[in-house]
Amino acid sequence: MQRLVQLALDLFDPPLSPVVAPAAAPVVNAADFKQKMPPALDGKALVAPKTIVNRPAAPAVPLPSLLSPAEFRHPQASREVLLGDAVVAYALTRARRRTIGFTVGADGLAVRAPSWVTLGAVDAALREKSDWILRKLSDARERQQRLEGGRIVWANGAVLPYLGEPLTVVLDPSHGFAGKGGALVVAAEPGGAAMPTLQIGLPHSANPVQIRDAVQAWLMRDARRHFTARLDHFAPLLGVRWASLRLSSAQTRWGSAKADGSIRLNWRLLHYRPAVIDYVVAHELAHLRVMDHSPRFWDTVATVVPDYAQLRSRLRDEPAPLWD
């Protein structure tokens, strides 16, 4: 019976491993142990370094600097206010007017208010329009950053936009280009692409001011030629006659028109592609029919430039490069 029980147990339990007695530890002579010790431990104590270099931890960034609000500061700021999360320092001017007026430009926020309006009321009006003001200030700052990024470095090989395409300035002291100071040269590349260059009759030792003035003189002559041709094109289409053209160097205005037919256009328009220039030319000629910006005026512009809204936005969103 015990044999049967033992067989049954063997079917379900694994066989027991035999118990093995531990082997006796080998006898090691002290001399052999000393011979096998690492050299660093052979009868020598570990010596601690004489000096411990404590490297200073990186300075912690103050929490206020991480949480500091955005700041917009006008150069002639006389007062500041917190709008949302931004500190806005604005230029306040007292004027003879009935309402508070806001102007956002490259310098920042300028406010014109009647003399009888309290400072608290001015700040309250700014807070009421804070979303619009902050959006315009951010747009103006981004525009200024794009302007700075497009600043022209006046040297041989300088690149500037001309009719919407890059134009490379090349100094060529070999001749004076028949008194014109420069000439536009369009060379075809092996791939078929045209690579225009403006050859300027100056020595390679010319300084940046000389190069800038020579390029500007050529561009102004070319602007007069281009503008005259486009005025002659659009005037009959609009049923108007223009009397004179003057070039402008204004920083914030692209053109103007007077009832006597005199037109003023900014020569820096030559940086933009021809369609944008056409919009500005048509805009000023349309003023010879409608001397305001009423719906009738824009309808007049649309008769010759149907996509004037897109071109107007492009003129606003793509600033011309800075000239130093």
What is the DSSP track for 93-153? EE-S-SS-EEEEETTEEEEEE-TTS-HHHHHHHHHHTHHHHHHHHHHHHHHHHHHHHT---
- Between these two residues, 271 and 189, which has the higher pLDDT value? 271
| Phi, psi of 278, deg, nearest 5 | -60, -40
The token pair at 58 is: 């990186």
d(CA 49, CA 240): 94
- Between these two residues, 4 and 320, which has the higher pLDDT value? 320
Give CB contacts under 8 A, 24+ apart, made by 60-66: none
Q: Residue 21: pLDDT band by 50, 70, 90 thresholds?
A: very low
Predicted confidence (pLDDT) at residue 16 exceeds the cutoff of 90:
no
Segments making up each domain of the chain, as ranges: 69-149, 159-317
* Eight-state DSSP code of residue 66: H
Q: Of how many residues is the chain composed?
A: 324
What are the distances in angstroms from CA 261 to CA 18, 189, 282?
119, 44, 13
Burial class for 92, CB neighbours closer than 10 Å (0-12, 13-18, 19+): middle
pTM, two decimal places? 0.60
Q: Which CATH superfamily is domain 159-317 in?
A: Metalloproteases ("zincins"), catalytic domain (3.30.2010.10)
For residue 4, what pLDDT is reported?
38
Relative to beta strand 165-171, strand 108-113 is: unpaired
> What percent of the chain shows pLDDT beyond 70?
72
- Between these two residues, 93 and 53, which has the higher pLDDT value? 93
Q: What share of the chain is helix, strand, coil (3-state, %, to 5)?
A: 40, 20, 40
For residue 232, what pLDDT is reported?
97
Relative to beta strand 79-83, strand 159-162 is: unpaired
The amino acid occupying position 283 is H
For residue 148, what pLDDT is reported?
64
For residue 180, what pLDDT is reported?
61
Q: Is 214 in contact with 182 (CB distance < 8 Å)?
A: yes
pLDDT digits (tens, 9 = 90+) for 226-269: 999 999 999 999 999 999 999 998 877 899 999 999 999 999 99
